[in-house]
Amino acid sequence: MTGLIVLDGTEVRGLFRMPAAIALMREVLAAYSTSGVTQPLRTVVRPEGRDSVLGSMPAHLATPSLTGFGIKTVVVNPGNAARGLDTHLGVVIVYDPETGLPAAMMDAAAVTAVRTAAVTAVATDVLAPPDAGDLALVGAGVQARTHLEAIAEVRPPRRGRGGSRTEAGAARLAAGAGQHLSLDVEVEVCPTVTETVADADIVCTLTSSETPVLDRGQLRDGAHVNAVGACFPHTRELASDVVEKAAVFVDSLESARAEAGDLLVPIREGRFSENDIRAELGEVLAGRRPGRVSPAELTVFKSLGLAAEDVAAGLHIAALARANGNGTTVDVYTPPPED
């Protein structure tokens, strides 16, 4: 292997198709919970007086289909929304498993959009009722569109609803469902969260809100909730009564204890404890812990995102790119001259 393959977002999306992404995330989540992943907590650099932060997320995988090191680095800049840019920008880099040479570098925003939705699809497939098909998406950004695509792979929606802080955002999601995703179901535009989630049996919260957008009274018994948008200790999308009364599953117990505001706030309030977390999703996939135990149970999957997911995606994409001749190859390593 020679040269570093550089892939932009369009190339990443072309190579990282949703069905393959879902299968890959299923493998990675099980590996994470059964010692197939070496991964520290992410490091976050927060300069004083600035809104933006730098996140660094390395991991090593050793699964039946993937082996290697990789890292995702992203700058989270809330001000980018006003510039028409993604608020999370960065790169995923993966390394050749034999030599350690940098093998590929790719747009992190595109990787994250697909792998996050694919993880949600796995959680939905494992935890939602088998006949679930009334889907509600709270939030109408990039993640809403990829989540609609991903969940359609595991629970084809009979009904879809989208709600956003702006009606225009929800309208774009509804239009995109037919124009770009070719789904048979129309996505209804709802003006409030309450109307968006009413009677839904699959709910995804995909907002940048720092305060709860969803409480227990808005949810039907037996629903499954994917809480995706809040990823810092001080942010949350779920009111404490949702967490208190649900069977809660996480992607990583270590990350949840350190970063999940959706859980940390009710823990501080004395309404929930770490011991109340039923399981990591990977433990359920591996058959080590139970998932949903009754049709009427409210289940919550708290997604924070794992470096292992990004590295697995990067290794998968890099292999496809090299096989198909995608991307731009550059030489970043030159052997030192001989004496």
CA dist 284 and 247 (Å) reads 13
> Quick check: 88 and 108 in contact, CB under 8 A?
yes
In three-state form (DSSP H/G/I as H, E/B as E, the rest C), the secondary structure along the chain is CCCEEEECHHHHHHHCCHHHHHHHHHHHHHHHCCCCEECCCCEEECCCCCCCEEEEEEEEEECCCCEEEEEEEEEECCCHHHHCCCCEEEEEEEECCCCCCEEEEEEHHHHHHHHHHHHHHHHHHHHCCCCCCEEEEECCCHHHHHHHHHHHHHCCCCEEEEECCCHHHHHHHHHHHHHCCCCCCCEEEECCHHHHHCCCCEEEECCCCCCCCECHHHCCCCCEEEECCCCCCCCCCECHHHHHCCEEEECCHHHHHHHCHHHHHHHHCCCCCHHHEEEEHHHHHCCCCCCCCCCCCCEEEECCCCHHHHHHHHHHHHHHHHHHCCCEEECCCCCCCCC
Nearest partner of 149 among 13, 316, 285, 280, judged by Cα: 13
76: which strand partners? Answer: 53, 88
pLDDT band at 241 (very low <50, low <70, confident <90, very high): very high
Domains in the chain with CATH codes: 4-111+307-330 (3.30.1780.10), 129-302 (3.40.50.720)
Structure confidence at residue 166 (pLDDT): 59
pLDDT tens, position by position, 91-120: 999 999 999 999 999 999 999 999 999 999
Mean pLDDT over 61-67 rounds to 92
> Quick check: 145 and 204 in contact, CB under 8 A?
no
pLDDT tens, position by position, 307-325: 999 999 999 999 999 999 9
pLDDT tens, position by position, 126-135: 999 999 999 9
CA dist 11 and 29 (Å) reads 25
Mean pLDDT over 269-285 rounds to 97
**pTM for this entry:** 0.94
Q: Mean pLDDT over all residues of the chain?
A: 92
Tokens of 323: 């096989």
* The pairing of beta strand 159-163 with beta strand 43-45: unpaired
- Residue 233, pLDDT > 60, answer yes
pLDDT tens, position by position, 23-35: 999 999 999 999 9
Structure confidence at residue 247 (pLDDT): 98
Structure confidence at residue 88 (pLDDT): 85
pLDDT band at 81 (very low <50, low <70, confident <90, very high): confident
Structure confidence at residue 321 (pLDDT): 98
CA dist 166 and 124 (Å) reads 26
List phi, psi (to 5°) of 19.
-60, -40
pLDDT tens, position by position, 118-164: 999 999 999 999 999 999 999 877 888 899 999 999 999 999 998 87
